[in-house]
Amino acid sequence: MMAPSYNAKEEDGHQPGATGHGGAGTMTNKKPDNTAFKQQRLPAWQPILTAGTVLPAFFVIGLIFIPIGVGLFVTSNNIKEFEIDYTGVDMSSPCYNCSQSYSWNNTQSCTCSVHFSLDQPFESNVFMYYGLSNFYQNHRRYVKSRDDSQLNGDKTSLQSPSKECEPYRSSDKPIAPCGAIANSLFNDTLELYYIDPNGSRTAIPLVKKGIAWWTDKHVKFRNPSGNNNLTVVFQGTSKPVNWRKPVFELDPLDSDNNGFINEDFIVWMRTAALPTFRKLYCIIQKKPNNMTPTLPRGEYILEVTYNYPVRSFDGRKRMILSTISWMGGKNPFLGIAYITVGSVCFCLGLVLLSIHYRYGKRNNSAEISS
Partner 1 sequence: SRKVDSRTIYVGHRPCPTTEALIPPKFCDNRIVSSKYTVWNFLPKNLFEQFRRIANFYFLIIFLVQVIVDTPTSPVTSGLPLFFVITVTAIKQGYEDWLRHKADNEVNKYLVTVLEDGRRARKESEKIKVGDVVEVVEDETFPCDLILLQSSREDETCFVTTASLDGESNHKTHYTVPDTEKNLESLSATIECEQPQPDLYKFVTVFSRCVVFFRSLGPENLLLKGATLKNTQKIYGVAVYSGMETKMALNYQGKSQKRSAVEKSINAFLLVYLCILVSKALVCTTLKYVWQSRPGQDEPWYNQKTQKEKDTNLYLKMFTDFLSFMVLFNFIIPVSMYVTVEMQKFLGSFFISWDKDFFDPEIQEGALVNTSDLNEELGQVEYVFTDKTGTLTQNNMEFIECCIDGFQYKYADSGTELDGFCVTDGPVSMLQQKAGREKEELFLRALCLCHTVQVKEATGQGDGVGDGMIHPADLRGFIASSPDEVALVKGAMKYGFKFLGMESKNMRVMNRNNDVETYELLHVLNFDPVRRRMSVIVRTKSGDTMLFCKGADSSIFPRVRQEEVDRIRMHVERNATEGYRTLCVAYKLLSSEEYDQADTGLREAKLALQDREEKLMAVYNQVETGMSLIGATAVEDRLQEEAAETMEALQGAGMKVWVLTGDKMETAKSTCYACRLFQRSTELLELTVRTLHSWAKSKPVSAFSVPPRSWSSANQDYGFIIDGATLSLVLNSSPDSNSSCYKSLFLQICQNCTTVLCCRMAPLQKAQIVKMVKNSKGSPITLSIGDGANDVSMILEAHVGIGIKGREGRQAVRNSDYAIPKLKHLKKLLLGHGHLYYVRIAHLVQYFFYKNLCFILPQFLYQFFCGYSQQPLYDAAYLTMYNICFTSMPILANSLLEQHICMEVLMDNAALYRDVAKNAMLRWGPFLYWTLLGVYQGLLFFFGVRFLFSNPALQDNGQVFGNWSYGTIVFTVLVFTVTLKLAMDTRHWTWINHFVIWGSLAFYMFFSFFWGGIICNQKRVKQIKIYILSLRFVT
**Of residues 25-84, those binding partner 1 (CB under 8 A):** 27-28, 30-34, 38-40, 42-47, 61, 65
Nearest distance from C-beta of residue 66 to partner 1, angstroms: 11
Nearest distance from C-beta of residue 232 to partner 1, angstroms: 29
Is residue 275 at the binding interface for partner 1, with CB under 8 A as the rule?
A: yes
How far apart are alpha carbons 369 and 303 in whole angstroms?
A: 65
Show Cβ contacts of residue 260 under 8 Å, excluding neighbours closer than 6 positions.
151, 153, 177, 221, 222, 223, 247, 266
- Measured CA distances, 7 to 27, 51, 261, 335 (Å): 20, 48, 62, 58
Nearest distance from C-beta of residue 18 to partner 1, angstroms: 6
Using the rule CB under 8 A, give the single segment among 24-32, 170-178, 194-202, 352-360 that binds partner 1: 24-32
Amino acid at 21: H
Q: 126-133 and 277-284 as β-strands: parallel, antiparallel, unpaired?
A: antiparallel
Residues in the chain: 370
Q: Which is nearer to partner 1, 3 or 253 (CB)?
A: 3
Q: Which is nearer to partner 1, 61 or 195 (CB)?
A: 61
Residue 224 · residue 155 · CB < 8 Å: yes
Is residue 314 at the binding interface for partner 1, with CB under 8 A as the rule?
A: yes
Q: Choose among 276, 281, 242, 277: nearest CA to 263.
A: 281
Site map 145..184 versus partner 1, x via CB under 8 A: x--------------------xxx-----------x--xx
Residue 366 · residue 359 · CB < 8 Å: yes
Is residue 91 at the binding interface for partner 1, with CB under 8 A as the rule?
A: no
Show Cβ contacts of residue 253 under 8 Å, excluding neighbours closer than 6 positions.
none
Q: Which is nearer to partner 1, 30 or 361 (CB)?
A: 30
Q: Which is nearer to partner 1, 145 or 237 (CB)?
A: 145
Task: Tell me which DSSP letter residue 311 carries.
Answer: G
Is residue 245 at the binding interface for partner 1, with CB under 8 A as the rule?
A: no
191-197: long-range pairs with CB below 8 Å, 24+: 191/302, 191/303, 191/304, 192/128, 192/284, 192/300, 192/301, 192/302, 192/303, 193/300, 193/301, 193/302, 193/303, 194/295, 194/296, 194/298, 194/299, 194/300, 195/298, 195/299, 195/300, 195/301, 196/298, 197/298
Q: Which of 20, 199, 252, 288 binds partner 1 (CB under 8 A)?
A: 20
Is residue 364 at the binding interface for partner 1, with CB under 8 A as the rule?
A: no
Nearest distance from C-beta of residue 225 to partner 1, angstroms: 19
Q: Which of 330, 346, 349, 356 binds partner 1 (CB under 8 A)?
A: 330
SS3 176: coil
Site for partner 1 in 94-133 (CB under 8 A): 125, 127, 129
Q: Choose among 102, 107, 306: nearest CA to 189.
A: 306
Is residue 214 at the binding interface for partner 1, with CB under 8 A as the rule?
A: yes
Using the rule CB under 8 A, give the single segment among 107-115, 195-203, 276-284, 350-358 that binds partner 1: 276-284
Using the rule CB under 8 A, give the single segment among 15-23, 170-178, 187-195, 243-251 that binds partner 1: 15-23
Q: Which of 71, 97, 170, 279 binds partner 1 (CB under 8 A)?
A: 279
Q: Which is nearer to partner 1, 239 or 330 (CB)?
A: 330
Task: Tell me which DSSP letter residue 170 carries.
Answer: B
Nearest distance from C-beta of residue 45 to partner 1, angstroms: 4
Q: Which is nearer to partner 1, 24 or 253 (CB)?
A: 24
